[in-house]
């Protein structure tokens, strides 16, 4: 599919120009979790093939089209953009970003700004490329299979994102409670905890109580972040891999928080307090962007005490 085709026919009017809130409930693709809000009938998100900071990469989210271009391409398209850091020369930008809100009233055929986009897509950025496509409309999957969606003419391949569940038996767990959070605010403690969570995400054998690797091959040890040494617990990692929307990640987090941080009836689960039995109960969730450019990790206790990390991986 070419960039030019984003601005044509029903694809443009139905997927991009529409963004009408609807009171109907939306569902995560698995059909098990309900969104508790509005969804947009014409809302989609797209991501093109290519490596960030290396190739020309395009994305579309909530009507905002983002073009990440190298310098030679940027000089040809004739569109206004801004330079971004790419790790290259300090005083010369080799990468540029152009952002266009396609839902603005002036983004219509015959308007000057829209015509410039059409010219750039027809004469410069005219290569057919592969895209990842996500439709927020929960009924789109049925109409897509029936060939009634605007994207149907491009012969899309439907991919289901299913969770992969990995058991982590006898896993060493640092003794961390809400009372210990103030000790984790320093740089070293925070990095130790972040590293530990990433080791869990990788299902690394280094966090197992039965690990017996030669210390010459790996010197990693589960950190002792609390008053006592790490204890052995059974844990589970659930992983989704694919083109996932922020709304999906939000609903998964809320669902896991609700089910995973259940406390006794006589306990409390408020932002101000945490029951004694739940002081050591926590969940952690990590997400990374395509190309490994950015990553986010959230760790939350039963009383809503939360630690967050945002990593720039370039």
Span 187-233, pLDDT tens digits: 788 889 999 999 999 999 999 999 999 989 999 999 887 778 899 99
Q: Would residue 159 count as lying in a domain?
A: no
Percent of the chain with pLDDT over 90: 54
Verify that 142 and 200 share a domain, yes or no: no
Q: What is the per-residue pLDDT for 313?
A: 64
Whether 271 shows a pLDDT value over 50: the answer reads no
Domain boundary among the residues 109, 129, 154 is at: 154
Distance CA 257, CA 250 (A): 11
Question: Same domain for 303 and 229?
Answer: yes
pLDDT band for position 31 (cuts 50, 70, 90): very low
Selected residue with higher pLDDT from 311 and 184: 311
Final residue before a domain boundary, out of 106, 122, 154? 154
> Which residues make Cβ contacts (< 8 Å) with residue 31, sequence separation at least 6?
none
Q: Is residue 56 part of a domain?
A: yes
Looking at 101, 127, 154, which one is the last position of a domain? Answer: 154
Query: What pLDDT digit, counting tens, does each position of 289-300 carry?
Result: 887 778 999 999
Q: According to the model, what pLDDT value does residue 28 have?
A: 36
Cα separation, 64 vs 129, in Å, equals: 19
Q: Is residue 241 part of a domain?
A: yes
Q: Which position has the token pair 């271009």?
A: 69
Q: Does residue 137 form part of some domain?
A: yes
Tell me the residue range of the domain where 72 lies.
3-154
* Shared domain check, 264 and 306: yes
Instruction: Note whether 29 and 110 are same-domain residues.
Output: yes
Residue of 288, 250, 292, 243 lying closest to 46 (CA atoms): 243
Whether residue 265 has pLDDT greater than 70: no
pLDDT score of 26: 38
Burial class (CB in 10 A: 0-12, 13-18, 19+), 142: exposed
pLDDT digits (tens, 9 = 90+) for 52-98: 888 999 999 999 999 999 999 999 999 999 998 776 555 566 899 99
- The predicted pLDDT at position 264 comes to 55
In a domain, 172, yes or no: yes
Residues 44 and 150 occupy one common structural domain: yes
What is the average pLDDT value for the chain, to the nearest integer?
83
Instruction: Based on the fold, state whether residues 207 and 270 are members of the same structural domain.
Output: yes
pTM of the model: 0.79
pLDDT at 23 (0 to 100): 40
278, pLDDT greater than 80: no
138 part of a folded domain: yes
All residues at 6 or more sequence positions from 231 whose CB lies less than 8 Å from its CB, including other chains: 172, 173, 175
Q: In this predicted model, what pLDDT tens digit does every residue of 130-182 receive, in sequence order?
A: 999 999 888 888 888 888 899 999 989 988 889 999 999 999 998 777 776 77
Q: Same domain, yes or no, for 143 and 168? A: no
268 belongs to a structural domain: yes
90/213 same-domain check = no
The pLDDT score that the predictor gives to residue 301 is: 86
Task: Name, in order, each residue with C-beta under 8 angstroms of 92's C-beta and a sequence gap of 6 or more.
Answer: none
**Pair (295, 260) in one structural domain:** yes
Q: Is residue 185 part of a domain?
A: yes
120 in the same domain as 208: no
Same domain assignment for residues 30 and 145: yes
What domain count does the chain have? 2
Contacts of 241 (CB under 8 A, 6+ apart): 161, 164
Based on the domain organization, do 260 and 130 belong to the same domain?
A: no
pLDDT at 29 > cutoff 50: no
């Amino acid at each position: 599919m070419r960039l030019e085709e984003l601005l044509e026919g029903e694809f443009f009017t139905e997927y991009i120009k529409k963004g009408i809130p609807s009171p109907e409930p939306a569902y995560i693709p698995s059909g098990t979790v309900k969104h508790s809000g509005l969804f947009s009938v014409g809302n989609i998100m797209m991501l093109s093939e290519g490596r960030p900071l290396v190739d020309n990469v395009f994305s579309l989210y909530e009507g905002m089209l983002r073009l990440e271009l190298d310098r030679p391409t940027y000089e040809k398209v004739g569109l206004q953009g801004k330079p971004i850091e790419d790790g290259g020369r300090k005083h010369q930008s080799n990468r540029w970003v152009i952002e266009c809100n396609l839902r603005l009233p002036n983004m219509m055929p015959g308007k000057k700004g829209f015509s410039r986009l059409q010219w750039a897509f027809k004469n410069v950025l005219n290569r057919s490329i592969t895209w990842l496509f996500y439709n927020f409309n929960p009924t789109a999957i049925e109409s897509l299979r029936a060939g009634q969606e605007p994207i149907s003419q491009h012969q899309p391949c439907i991919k289901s994102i299913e969770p992969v569940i990995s058991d982590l038996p006898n896993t060493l767990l640092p003794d961390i409670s809400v009372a210990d959070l103030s000790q984790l605010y320093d740089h070293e403690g925070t990095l130790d905890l972040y590293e530990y969570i990433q080791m869990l995400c990788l299902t690394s054998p280094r966090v197992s109580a039965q690990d017996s690797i030669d210390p010459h091959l790996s010197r990693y040890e589960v950190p002792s972040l609390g008053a006592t040494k790490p204890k052995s617990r059974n844990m589970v990692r659930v992983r989704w891999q694919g083109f996932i929307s922020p709304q999906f990640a939000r609903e998964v987090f809320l669902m896991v928080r609700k089910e995973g941080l259940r406390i006794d009836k006589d306990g409390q689960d408020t932002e101000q307090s945490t029951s004694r039995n739940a002081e050591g109960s926590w969940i952690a969730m990590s997400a990374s962007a395509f190309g490994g450019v950015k990553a986010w990790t959230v760790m939350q206790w039963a009383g809503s005490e939360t630690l967050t990390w945002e990593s720039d991986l370039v």
